[in-house]
Amino acid sequence: MTQTHVPPRLQVEGLMRSFGGRQVLDDVSFSIPAGQVTCLLGPSGCGKSTTLRIIAGVDMQDRGRILVDGALVCDTVFRVPPERRAIGLMFQDFALFPHLSVAENVAFGLAGSKAEKRARVSELLDRVHLARHIDSMPHALSGGEQQRVALARALAPRPRILLMDEPFSGLDERLRDDIRDETLALLKEEGTAVLLVTHEPHEAMRMADEILLMRDGRIVQRGAPYNLYNAPVDRKAAAFFSDINVLTGRVQGALTPTPFGDFLTPGLADGTAVDIVIRPQHLKIDFDRAGRGPNPTAQDGTPARGVVERARFMGRESLVEFRMEFDGSLLRATVPNVFLPKPGTPMWLMIRRDRCFVFPSV
């Protein structure tokens, strides 16, 4: 049986872009199959929007090329104009045409007969639950409703790829998760390939099939949200998704001794300085019993004692900060629900060996 090779819906190869001598994109490559939502995640200024603009065709790369369904869309000499790329765009300010009704906004980029256009507009407005607003003007809608009209407009011409730049950032925080979920359901029904730019890890984790983590113009890690969270490629990647605690040490014979016991650090030369990174929810807390703590275990190492500096209730969890006796440093632990020990209370901490990450210090 022969297998037919299906090219990715979007393929980006080796994009380079500099502004005024500063390298803003440095060899950016990735691909997205049809039906997949990929989030380009990274801090402000790392090059996310520049990548999106080049794919959309409103900026040009210095090197590299872009293919859609295997066909060249642009390299440094050939360039399909933006309006012929079958790429939809959606930005944070929604940019609805204020003088056009909801129906006219959604129909804006549509070809076909009047009846065909009307059918597609009704179908999409039904799916974003705005059928009753078909004749309303944009100013009469709430922010969330305008966002849904913008989504319907972007999807109406059935783009092969939808590019979304921080599409939820203009919305009320309490609305965002619902709108994200509704948006995701519609994107999946339409089966388009989506590239969504965001600087919010929570948004990327909620929306993405795959996350591309970007820093200083490079993609430093890619993978499913679970993998990025649980197997970060370096200390900065770990810190991007949550608060972290960092212990430092030096390798001695494939182990790194710390006040929490030895950590396995195979493959690193003796004397290498390492950072042992642990998320606050993976510290284990135990009570002090007349100056004694829990027994050491293979799973959690040796306990170390600290004193509660501050405890705060955060809603779903409590955040407790400990001043550690061994060096006076602060470690943060989160505990589900309400756990608010008084400042000054001595307690013992242990570190789950299966949940910490070890990186050479940089």
Ligand X SMILES: Nc1ncnc2c1ncn2[C@@H]1O[C@H](COP(=O)(O)OP(=O)(O)OP(=O)(O)O)[C@@H](O)[C@H]1O
Which residues sit at the interface with ligand X, rule CB under 6 A?
A: 19, 24, 42, 44-50, 199
Instruction: State the Cα–Cα distance between residues 134 and 15, nearest whole angstrom.
Output: 41
Helix then strand then coil, in percent of the chain rounded to 5, is 25, 35, 40
Instruction: State the Cα–Cα distance between residues 48 and 203, nearest whole angstrom.
Output: 15
Q: Which is nearer to ligand X, 127 or 176 (CB)?
A: 176
Q: How far is the CB of 165 from ligand X (least distance, A)?
A: 8
Q: Which is nearer to ligand X, 211 or 347 (CB)?
A: 211
Q: Which is nearer to ligand X, 90 or 356 (CB)?
A: 90
Q: How far is the CB of 27 from ligand X (least distance, A)?
A: 15
For 274, residues 6+ apart whose C-beta sits below 8 A from its C-beta are 248, 249, 250, 251, 256, 263, 265, 268, 358, 359, 360, 361
Q: How far is the CB of 17 from ligand X (least distance, A)?
A: 8
Which residue bears the tokens 């006796």?
325
Q: How far is the CB of 18 from ligand X (least distance, A)?
A: 9
| Tokens read off for 124 | 């999409």
Count of beta carbons in the 10 Å neighbourhood of residue 76:
12
β-pair type (161-165, 87-91)? parallel
Q: Which is nearer to ligand X, 30 or 260 (CB)?
A: 30
CA 131, 136, 139, 140 torsion: positive or negative? negative
Q: How far is the CB of 30 from ligand X (least distance, A)?
A: 15
Report which DSSP code applies to 242. S
Instruction: State the Cα–Cα distance between residues 61 and 24, nearest whole angstrom.
Output: 10
Q: Which is nearer to ligand X, 50 or 318 (CB)?
A: 50
Q: Which is nearer to ligand X, 32 or 54 (CB)?
A: 54
Q: How far is the CB of 19 from ligand X (least distance, A)?
A: 3
Q: How far is the CB of 173 from ligand X (least distance, A)?
A: 18
Q: How far is the CB of 282 from ligand X (least distance, A)?
A: 29
Instruction: State the Cα–Cα distance between residues 39 and 208, nearest whole angstrom.
Output: 6
Give the SS3 label for residue 243: coil
Q: How far is the CB of 41 from ligand X (least distance, A)?
A: 10
Beta bridge pairs of residue 346: 307
DSSP string for 47-85: SHHHHHHHHHTSS--SEEEEEETTEEEE-SS-B--GGGS
Q: Which is nearer to ligand X, 19 or 97 (CB)?
A: 19
Instruction: State the Cα–Cα distance between residues 123 and 144, nearest whole angstrom.
Output: 19
Q: Which is nearer to ligand X, 50 or 265 (CB)?
A: 50
Q: Which is nearer to ligand X, 60 or 264 (CB)?
A: 60
